[in-house]
Amino acid sequence: MKHNRIITLLIIVLMVYSASAQLDLSKSKLEIEKVGKDIYLFVQQTNITNPSSIVYSSPELSILIDPGYKQMQLSVKDSINALNGGSIKFIMTSHFHLDHVQAMENYYNNTTILLSSNQQKNISNMDIKNIISSDDKYHLKLGQEELEIHSFPNTSGHTDSDALFFFKQANVLIVGDYLFQDMYPRIDLKGGGGSIDGYFKNIDYILSLADNNTKIIPGHTSFKEVKKRYLSKKEYSLHINKIKESISKINAMKTKGLSIEEALKQGLPEKFKYLSEGAKYVSQDKWITFIYNNL
């Protein structure tokens, strides 16, 4: 049946939240932060999730990366108009999870959808038109700006169809769910063809593209009040090293023969607490359980 895949993806997305949480888009709002010349981070804040959209908006045309939820698109379009941006000519995505791609069904007419073959496979039951394949590295020349679309060296990472986007002149890297700001990551192994090892190898690739002035844009920004919703290369490296250290601590407990229940009771040291405070996608208990079961 048409849209079965969409329903499946929605279930996958909602699994990362507590059982009692219900996604309520009537309580959503759009937060906007300028991250480069003509480049804006749109955070779709809902009651339980906050996917990032990235907009390149010039008078000639606009580009939308990770359009997010259908119900947010009126706000997205109105905001682009307020920026005096041209019509949306291209849409693309970092991966196929519904909170990043659902609104692709809203766009027809003069909008071109750039997707890799794996991304096309994973959203094949969605009603999306005007698709062009963007396998390997794809370039868009945007006046003085240049946008590179990269596939990752490891096909299996966060999912099996991830992409990253690099605005070369602005030095802005959009990495999708290879960055959950101030949170443990979610790696979609069962439903999305992801890989823990591939996830971190692909992060090494991201770091190889960045320099000390690069702005790294997360797929999900912090739920906390923060000064900025992007990281430098140094900040990203520190964050990833903290995640890797947590894995080492969990593996050490497993090596000692602790059961999952004992490991959950012991928990991780205090310095990891901030990764599991307040609103988040993966709690400390879920992270420990995930690593125990998959490494």
Return all residues near 106 (Cβ < 8 A) that are at least 6 apart: 67, 70, 73
Give the whole-angstrom CA distance, residue 35 versus residue 190.
34
The two structure tokens encoding residue 28: 């959503």
- Give the pair of three-digit tokens for residue 45: 């804040």
Tell me the whole-structure pTM to 2 decimals. 0.90
Span 4-241: which CATH code?
A: 3.60.15.10
CA distances to 34, 74, 123, 190, 253 from 31, in Å: 10, 14, 27, 32, 40
Give 48-106 pLDDT, tens digit per residue: 789 999 999 999 999 999 999 988 888 998 999 899 888 999 999 999 998 999 988 88
Residues 204 and 152 sit within 8 Å (Cβ to Cβ)? no
Q: What is the predicted pLDDT for the residue at 49?
A: 85
Q: What angle do CA 230, 116, 6 make, to 5 degrees?
A: 85
pLDDT along the chain (295 residues), means of 10: 39 40 76 96 88 95 94 89 90 94 83 90 86 82 94 95 97 98 95 95 98 98 91 98 98 97 98 89 95 94
State residue 36's pLDDT score.
97
Q: How far apart are CA 245 and CA 133, in angstroms?
A: 38
Degrees to nearest 5, angle at CA 222 with 218 and 224 = 165
CB-based burial, 229-247: b 16+ in 10 Å, e otherwise: bbbbbeebeebbeebeebb
Q: What is the pLDDT of residues 227-253, one digit of tens each?
A: 899 999 999 999 999 999 999 999 999
Which residues, other chains included, contact 65 with Cβ-Cβ below 8 Å and sequence gap of 6+?
53, 54, 55, 56, 91, 92, 93, 94, 165, 174
